[in-house]
Amino acid sequence: MKKNLVGLIADTHDNRENIKKAVEIFNNKGVSLVIHAGDLIAPFTCLDFKELKVPMEIVFGNNDGERVGLTNAYKDIGTILPGPRTFLFNGKRFLLMHEPGCLDELIKGSTIDVIIYGHTHEVDLREGQPLIVNPGEAGGWLKGTPTIGILDLDEMSVEIIKLNL
């Protein structure tokens, strides 16, 4: 039976080598969707994300200044919009945002199944209802340990994967 997997990535900050590693992992794991929680930075990052075998859901980050260029570059790869925003995927309701400003308030009484965010460059994994995930920084520029996540929607669990191993 095929697993119901979603790739999670944030804060790539133009690190094309790490984007390539992440794309390879997502393709090899057989994810059905990749979610990017912001801070792609430049439109040329689409050259690496085009290698994904699945679509993307993307939210702009605070450093994504060239929004028109990013929107045009990613139009054939996935949906890129300002956040926070919600969407449905495989029966689960997602909330995608870059900055976690009101995260604690969102948790209370939420009808959301999964909240994905970025911005802090630190892994945050909180199991429960909703499941909360920050996959850390894929770029690796700030904390030095680039990470991504694989979300299993059947188990509602997340595997954090280090890209520099």
d(CA 8, CA 37): 8
CATH of the domain at 54: 3.60.21.10
For residue 136, give the nearest of 8, 35, 5, 17 by alpha carbon. 8
d(CA 98, CA 123): 13
pLDDT recorded at residue 42: 97
The pLDDT of residue 2 is above 70: no
Find the domain containing 127 and state its range: 5-162
The pLDDT of residue 1 is above 60: no
pLDDT in tens, 67-117: 999 999 999 999 999 999 999 999 999 999 999 988 877 777 778 999 999
pLDDT recorded at residue 106: 76
pLDDT recorded at residue 136: 98
**27 burial type by CB count under 10 A (0-12 exposed, 13-18 middle, 19+ buried):** middle
How many structural domains are present in the chain? 1
For residue 6, give the nearest of 127, 94, 74, 125 by alpha carbon. 94
